[in-house]
Amino acid sequence: MRLSTYSEMVHEYKVRPIDSDDLEEREKLILRNKHSIIFEGDFLEFDNLELWVKQNVSTDPIVFLFYGKLAYDYGYFEVFTNEQSYFDKLTAIIPTLFTTYPSGKTSKTNGYDQEIYP
């Protein structure tokens, strides 16, 4: 998984304008939350992040907004929170998440079409 700001994501992937519903929802979330970060990665990495949030933070202070796919099982989300401590935890944990497949193989992404095998 890779972290970026909203402006970096828009610039790198030329997603301007994003879907109007997403843009409207983002504007509402920004007004209610001081912190946001874009994370992109494999959908299984997203599942692992959501599981980590449920186990370590709870989902109440964390809001996810899905922006779209960049490939079949790869896309980007924005995560919002009003708490600095939760934001710090998220930005620390996101780059460490990886996927473990039933075969035992593990991998994680570091940008679109860039897999790392630990």
Task: Look at residue 79 in the predicted model and tell me its pLDDT.
Answer: 92
pTM of the model: 0.81
Task: Look at residue 85 in the predicted model and tell me its pLDDT.
Answer: 92
* Closest to 29 measured CA to CA, from 71, 65, 76: 65
Distance CA 62, CA 99 (A): 22
Structural domain of 24? 2-116
Quick check: 45 and 102 in contact, CB under 8 A? no
Task: Look at residue 15 in the predicted model and tell me its pLDDT.
Answer: 61
For 23-49, the pLDDT digits (tens) are: 899 999 999 999 999 888 888 888 888
Task: Look at residue 117 in the predicted model and tell me its pLDDT.
Answer: 63
Report residues of the chain scoring pLDDT below 50.
none
The alpha-carbon radius of gyration of the chain (Å, integer) is: 14
Quick check: 109 and 2 in contact, CB under 8 A? yes
**DSSP string over 81-98:** ES-HHHHHHHHHHGGG--
Sheet holding 115-116, edge to edge: 99-100, 106-109, 115-116
Number of domain units in the chain:
1
Task: Look at residue 16 in the predicted model and tell me its pLDDT.
Answer: 53
